[in-house]
Structure 1
Amino acid sequence: MTELSVKGLKTGDIREISKALTLIENDPIKAKEIINALTDCDYDVIGLTGSPGAGKSTLTDRLASIYSEKEKVGIIAVDPSSPFTGGAFLGDRIRMKRASRNDNVYIRSMASRGKLGGLSPSIYDAVELLGRCGFRKILVETVGAGQSETDISNLADIVLLVLAPGLGDEIQMLKAGIMEIGDIYVVNKMDVEGAFRLKSRIEAILEFSKNQKDVILTDAVKGTNLEELVQLVEKELRFMKESGKINEKREKRRRFKKLNTIFQELKDLPDEALDKLASELQNFMGG
């Protein structure tokens, strides 16, 4: 690992961490080498997903500021990929003004690499790298569309499903099975008309489906109920750790990381090799 200083990564050197994340995004083999050089440790992964325009970036910014008072916080903002470069647009990062000025918070925008709303395979490695570099809370914010809602549940220990009134798609999301992946439901922009009605509707759906999950109203811009949201997150994390459910979630993350690595390797195969493999799989499955 001549390009990087392992000591610098272990001590949280931001330049070394940034270089390592760039390598992770572009070289899966190098990613494994980098991560294996660092000691594994305990960290919490909090995912934020939901409707575009619900205020996820501002909410992430606020949560990071609160957590950073006691520990180092890493933020991975998943941006849509540029159709020309494949790189992130950096839109979410621009909106995180508090976190960007906080020495105890590290922000990284990562491209979805053409998967609208989905999480690129390198994000699993990026989360693990930040955890091994001493970040005890890692917030992963998705672009909030398409595949992200299911992808984030495979990555995060706990998922905040962020909704807001007046966006026109919140009820469609609830009907589409997205409810299942949320651990805590956040109705943001509580000062907008319809917020309390939306909260009541979510609670009714949860009661009907016999899901005992918390629903909270917030205003990320004003900071209303953000401390209360952190308390709910910590309560859920404590329950998961005491019950052993956190181990199931983290084993699931390891499995999906392996699957993502396999898919990445398949993607890089020549067309002829892919066709041959597809034919063999079809024959194996009796197709």
Structure 2
Amino acid sequence: MAGPDAPAFADAPSLSDADAALVEDLLSGSHRALARVITKIESRTPGYRAIVSALHEHTGGADVIGVTGSPGAGKSTLVDKLAAAYRERGDTVGVIAVDPSSPYTGGAVLGDRIRMGSNVGDMDVFFRSMSARGQLGGLSTATADAVKALDAFGKDVVVLETVGAGQNEVDVVRTADTVAVLVQPGSGDDVQTLKAGILEIGDVFVVNKADMDGAQRTVAELEEMVHRREGGTTGRGAGHHGAASMASTEGGGSAGSHHDAGHSADSESGESDARDADADDSWTPEVLETVANTGEGVEGLIETFDAHAAYLRESGEIETTERRRYAEEIRTLVRADVGALATAEIERRGGIDRLAERVRDRETDPYAVAEAIVGPIADCVEEAADGDRDD
């Protein structure tokens, strides 16, 4: 809860009458309105921010699952089968497939391909292919806003299938509650890439195409990778949840220490039990096998997703996850908005090429140029802060 001296925030952007009606239709369950809203979000049509702001209070009900991994791992096929399995148990599903951006149009170059074949004609599975817009991790701010639209619409599950870009896929963590990293059998290089960084984002590791040669070896490599995390831990606290539990276990001794039979009950053994309880409170990433073409292993994968969602709720970790997500979203939006202001100021001063020429001619230097551009923005921020303090 904000204290009495907390600065006030601006009112949410105002909706036009047409956009207000569009939001009302979306919240009433119109798939056509949902599609139009996501189009506005992806195109950054004027007024889209007011729409997203209006939807925000209606979000928080969907389980958001990220599915990532290297190209060829079978992400699209597995997502198709996941959606069908969720529908069989009565859940409504939204799917956002983030495709590579066209360098010319910014559009999703794979957007017209045939996907989600098992769910064609099912109005309770909403599929949308979106452009990554050049973001390293394949997820742009537009994608996060589209997730909000699906959540506010009332989808029970939202699945994000992202571009396979190795360890740069960390952006998916900022939008998904649960992250599944797919690896195909015989992917020695992929596992090495995972070791280089993407391990940190995985809550579940999936060896897809598990009927191929080399599947068991890949499973073993992934299990070893999980259990030999930093410091030789047992894998507790791996994934993008459980950093606190990692810190707590690093400071303690072995939970399996032997004690004298005559030692008083409740000291060391009590501490040991507490350490075991702490360890059990963290999430250990699982390594599962699936064959997406046949649907084998999909039910078990969904059970693991459900278990992770339950863990997030029961442990309170979901609150930490949401705070982290919104903190990153705020930073991203502020950077983008300040960057736009700075770009406008650069143009007002003759453009970047003219400024660079003046630096080359030693008329000025890069630091002075940056100060001249950012200074007026900083002055406005300071004036606003003084106004808040006066109020």
Normalising by structure 2, report the TM-score. 0.67
What does 1:152-163 align with in structure 2 at a 5 Å threshold? 152-163=172-183
Letter in 2 for 1:216: L
1:259 is matched with 331
Identity in percent = 41
**More divergent stretch after superposition (95-104 vs 225-234):** 95-104
Q: How does 1:180-219 map to 2 (within 5 A)?
A: 180-209=200-229, 210-211=234-235, 212-219=284-291
Which of residues 173, 180, 202 is equivalent to 2:193? 173
Structure 1 contact 112–119 (Cα < 8 Å) conserved: yes
Q: Mean alpha-carbon deviation: is it higher for 30-39 or for 17-26? A: 30-39
CA displacement, residues 144-172 of structure 1 (integer Å, 9 cap, x when unaligned): 11565210011110100111023453122
Q: Deviations over 1:93-113 (max 9, x none)?
A: 623211333221001111011
| AA at the equivalent of 1:55 | G
What 5-or-longer segments of structure 2 have no aligned partner? 1-15, 236-283, 347-368, 379-391
CA distance in 2, matches of 1:92, 1:187: 27
Q: Which amino acid counterpart does residue 150 of structure 1 have in structure 2?
A: V
Moved more, 153-162 or 139-148: 139-148
- TM-score, normalization by structure 1: 0.90
Q: Indicate the larger mover: 179-188 or 63-72.
A: 63-72
Change beyond 3 A, Cα 1:93–1:99: farther
Q: In 2 relative to 1, CA 278–139 (structure 1 residues): closer, same or farther, beyond 3 Å? A: farther
Q: Which residue pairs with 1:76 in the alignment?
A: 96
Q: Which runs of 4+ in 1 moved over 6 A?
A: none
Q: Summarize deviations over 1:40-98 as a string: whole Å, max 9, x none.
A: 34111100111111001111111111112312110010001112211112358623211
Q: Please say if 1:7 is aligned against 2:21.
A: no
**1:249 lines up with 2:321 in the alignment:** yes
Counterpart position of 1:42:
61
Q: Distance in 2 between matches of 1:272 and 1:196?
A: 56
- Are 1:62 and 2:156 an aligned pair? no
Letter in 2 for 1:7: E
Q: Which amino acid aligns with 2:23?
A: V
The residue identity in structure 2 corresponding to 1:129 is A
Alpha-carbon distance in structure 1 between the residues aligned to 2:374 and 2:25: 46
Residues of 2 paired with 1:105 and 1:83: CA distance? 30
C-alpha spacing 1:202/1:146, structure 2 compared with 1 (3 Å): closer
Q: Mark the runs of 5 or more structure 1 residues left unpaired by the alignment.
A: none
Q: Aligned to 1:68, what secondary structure does the other structure show?
A: helix
Structure number, greater radius of gyration: 2
Deviates more, 1:8-17 or 1:216-225: 8-17
Question: Paired residue for 1:107, among 119, 122, 127?
Answer: 127
Deviation digits for residues 168-220 of structure 1 (CA, Å, limit 9, x no counterpart): 53122222121111000000000111111000111112122221321101000
Decide whether the 8 Å contact of 1:80 with 1:117 is kept in 2. no
Of 95, 101, 118 in structure 1, the residue corresponding to residue 115 of structure 2 is: 95
SS of structure 2 residue aligned to 1:95: coil
Query: What is the rounded CA distance, in whole Å, between the counterparts of 1:271 and 1:152 in structure 2?
Result: 28
1:127 corresponding residue in structure 2: 147
